[in-house]
Chain A
Amino acid sequence: MTVPYDIVAVVVVVALTLGIGVYGLRLARTTSDFMVASRAVSPTLNASAISGEYLSAASFLGIAGLVFAYGADMLWYPVGFVAGYLVLLLLVAAPLRRSGAYTVPDFAEVRLGSTAVRRIASVLVVAIGWLYLVPQLQGAGLTLRATTGAPVWLGAVVVAVVVTVNVAGGGMRSATFVQAFQYWLKLTALAVPAVFLLLAWQGDGAPDLAGPAGPTFREATSVRLDAPVVVEVVEPVVVRQDGRDRLLGTGRVRLSEGTVVFPAGSAVPQVESIERATGDTWAQPLSGAGGLEHPLYATYALVLATFLGTMGLPHVLVRFYTNADGAAARRTTLVVLGLLGAFYLLPALYGALGRLYAPELLLTGRTDAVVLALPGALVGGLTGDLLQALLVAGAFAAFLSTSSGLLVSTAGVLVQDVLRGTVRDFRRASVLAAVVPLVLALAATSLPIGQVVGLAFAMAASTFCPLLVLGIWWRGLTAPGAAAGLVVGGGLSATAVLATLTGAVDGGWPAALLAQPAAWTVPTAFAVMVGVSLATRGRVPAGVARTMLQLHAPEALGLSRGR
């Protein structure tokens, strides 16, 4: 068992996170330090922090898991996660920073002077923040269970407590240091094992990653099931369970808890939710591998959600206020594009190798664990244990950094719009902001991490993307228009998210439309925002010219600024 190394890895990451947090706390003196690091963080440090905060459980574990199960179409997730920053750079980065606002609700108020729009935006920030936090906490539980056998709740509670202590104690300044460190930790933790895995794969004769056969047990494999699972058996196979041989006939078969040993060369029976695909089908885009329906629609909807959703994520936005000015915000985003691009070269590799070396995860359905399973399966021995511990460290860095970013921004909104704006209440708000998603994470059944995070992107794209883009570039936006657009876009996307999370709709076009809602919710939100604004033309804010000047005038002019 590899227990000691993995636990050491978790303890070290937690200690470093808290340690750097304490170091940062000694530097944080005023409320402004506390909230936005006094807006004096250099572009490189800030870009590392933004990337560190952004690379969540979805990036570290989820993408590899999705690629592993569903193939080439899932490559659009990481592409969209990076391209979203390009869109943010092109349309939002500098003006948003110049607006001087700290959160989207602040922006809404600066631009539209409406407390009603501000309130709606606040509710949406909290909703998106919580939706994004749940899979982070679930990922932590999954990681600890997969590597140490700890109960699922433990990982979620550990992450929630550490992050709350860190955020409530140190605020944003410490978060900047912590997250910059965590980007480099995550990159190392994914890149170093990848080198070893590739060498081991070469040493194995570099077998075809997308061969004609479907997933097959390359050697006799014992699979531990800690819950019963229903699988689809494609060819009859004699397995050994609890010391007895058992013949599994083709069709749906229920496997009970315990250890099942499959003979070498047998086809992997897959959990019902992931259809068996040949390597050839799996490697091709739009093939519907794994049982995805309407792949072309799903791909475009995902592209829209990720390209446009990034700018609306609460933890991404807050980071932009720590730039010195608009020009620095642009340069920071450019560095982020480079840092993220380097990271996202790696996850697909894990997904592809998993098809060959960890196919039993298609039986248990725990595809998000593929990254963690590979070192043991492919490298083995002490090296494998150490590499797995490194991956666990990276995964925990991912949970901690994204969760603390989300917590800072969610708590920031709670403290400004629900509680009073003092440091003491920021601490109370942090606790509140962490407890709710923790309860949800423990109560909810888990979908693939990447998919849930994708839904949070869709919700952000359907609400804050139109608000920011129209608010920055179109003078005609009115408070009633913005409010209507936020309510319609948020309502539609929230409905789709709930329907997908609860599995209320099963199969066909309705399920596809709800699972990837951005393709219809984003255009609707834009249309409503523009339409209602045009209908309420008289309500264009009186100071819109001054606001436009503030958003777009270069700092070099030295004009007087509101904030």
Chain B
Amino acid sequence: MNEPTRRVAVRGPGTRAVRRAPGRPAITALDEQDVVGDLLIRSLVRAQLVLGLRLAAVFGCLIGGLPLLFAVAPSTRRVEVLGVALPWLVLGGLVYPALLAGGWLYVRLAERNERDFVDLVERS
């Protein structure tokens, strides 16, 4: 490696605070996969993974927690809400709009991560 080492502060694509040494644009760094490019893409991958896992964890607890709730508090199996037994109301109806809302939220946030990343790359 003859090139001088570049130092880069990477704070995730959300911060827009990555500073680069002047010279080669980030897009080239990405395409040619030097150290900077590698750090950039790693930060995006991490941000997207954290986002995906976070939402998966929220829904995993909300929906995946239901059988456990029914198991530890048997009274919840027969509670009636609006004239319908709770398990049927949730599993037969409410869960579907909730999943759609989760998907909508994810698409919004994931696209924002990507927009921030593109801004970051194109600015520098």
B95, chain A: closest CB distance, angstroms = 5
Of the candidate stretches B1-9, B14-22, B59-67, the one touching chain A is B59-67
Q: Does chain B have a CB within 8 A of A94?
A: yes
- Of A348, A553, A556, the residue contacting B88 (CB under 8 A) is A348
In B74-112, the 8 Å CB interface with A consists of 77-78, 85, 87-88, 91-93, 95-97, 99-100, 102-104, 106-107, 110-111
Q: Are A556's CB and B118's CB within 8 A?
A: yes
Q: Are B77's CB and A330's CB within 8 A?
A: no
Q: Are B88's CB and A333's CB within 8 A?
A: no
- Of A83, A90, A91, A286, the residue contacting B77 (CB under 8 A) is A286
Residue of B nearest to A331 (CB): B107
CA distance A333 to B59 in the complex (A): 17
* Residues A341 and B45 in contact in the complex (CB < 8 Å), given A91-B52, A286-B77: no
Q: Are B96's CB and A334's CB within 8 A?
A: no
Residue of B nearest to A346 (CB): B92
| Chain A residues with CB below 8 A from B96, complex form | 82, 340-342, 344-345
| Chain A residues with CB below 8 A from B100, complex form | 334, 337-338, 341
B26, chain A: closest CB distance, angstroms = 9
Q: Are B95's CB and A79's CB within 8 A?
A: yes
Q: Are A72's CB and B107's CB within 8 A?
A: no
Q: Are A286's CB and B107's CB within 8 A?
A: no
Q: Are B49's CB and A473's CB within 8 A?
A: yes
Q: Are B67's CB and A296's CB within 8 A?
A: yes
Number of inter-chain CB pairs below 8 Å: 131
| Chain A residues with CB below 8 A from B33, complex form | 545-546, 549
* Residues A90 and B55 in contact in the complex (CB < 8 Å), given A284-B87, A303-B67, A473-B49: yes
* Residues A348 and B92 in contact in the complex (CB < 8 Å), given A210-B85, A473-B49: yes
Q: Does chain B have a CB within 8 A of A327?
A: yes
Q: Does chain A have a CB within 8 A of B44?
A: yes
CA distance A552 to B104 in the complex (A): 19
Q: Does chain B have a CB within 8 A of A283?
A: yes
CA distance A557 to B31 in the complex (A): 10
Contact code string A76-109 (vs B, CB < 8 Å = 1, else 0): 1001001101110111001000000000000000
- Of B88, B106, B121, the residue contacting A90 (CB under 8 A) is B106
Residue of B nearest to A83 (CB): B99
- B interface bracket (residues with beta carbon within 8 Å of A): 35 or more
Residue of B nearest to A80 (CB): B63
In A326-355, the 8 Å CB interface with B consists of 327, 330-331, 333-334, 337-338, 340-342, 344-345, 348
Q: Does chain B have a CB within 8 A of A285?
A: yes
| Chain B residues with CB below 8 A from A91, complex form | 52, 56
Residue of A nearest to B26 (CB): A557
| Chain B residues with CB below 8 A from A556, complex form | 114-115, 118
| Chain A residues with CB below 8 A from B117, complex form | 554
Q: Does chain B have a CB within 8 A of A23?
A: no
Residue of A nearest to B13 (CB): A554
In B28-80, the 8 Å CB interface with A consists of 30-31, 33, 37-38, 41-42, 44-45, 48-49, 51-53, 55-56, 59, 63-64, 67, 70-71, 77-78
Q: Does chain B have a CB within 8 A of A75?
A: yes
Q: Does chain B have a CB within 8 A of A548?
A: yes
| Chain A residues with CB below 8 A from B106, complex form | 86, 89-90, 330
Q: Are B88's CB and A72's CB within 8 A?
A: yes
Q: Are B63's CB and A79's CB within 8 A?
A: yes
Q: Does chain B have a CB within 8 A of A299?
A: yes
Q: Are B55's CB and A549's CB within 8 A?
A: no
CA distance A72 to B95 in the complex (A): 14
| Chain A residues with CB below 8 A from B110, complex form | 94, 330
- Of A79, A285, A557, the residue contacting B118 (CB under 8 A) is A557
CA distance A345 to B95 in the complex (A): 10
- Of A79, A85, A553, A557, the residue contacting B91 (CB under 8 A) is A79
- Of A280, A286, A560, the residue contacting B71 (CB under 8 A) is A286
Residue of A nearest to B114 (CB): A554
* Residues A334 and B104 in contact in the complex (CB < 8 Å), given A83-B59, A90-B55: yes
| Chain B residues with CB below 8 A from A286, complex form | 67, 70-71, 77
- Of B45, B93, B103, the residue contacting A548 (CB under 8 A) is B45
| Chain B residues with CB below 8 A from A340, complex form | 96
9 pairs, A vs B, C-beta closer than 8 Å = A75-B87, A76-B67, A85-B99, A85-B103, A86-B99, A331-B107, A334-B104, A338-B100, A556-B118
Interface residues of B (CB under 8 A from A): 27, 30-31, 33, 37-38, 41-42, 44-45, 48-49, 51-53, 55-56, 59, 63-64, 67, 70-71, 77-78, 85, 87-88, 91-93, 95-97, 99-100, 102-104, 106-107, 110-111, 114-115, 117-118, 121
**Across the A-B interface, the 10 shortest Cβ-Cβ residue pairs:** A341-B96, A75-B91, A554-B114, A90-B52, A284-B77, A337-B103, A299-B67, A334-B103, A556-B118, A337-B100
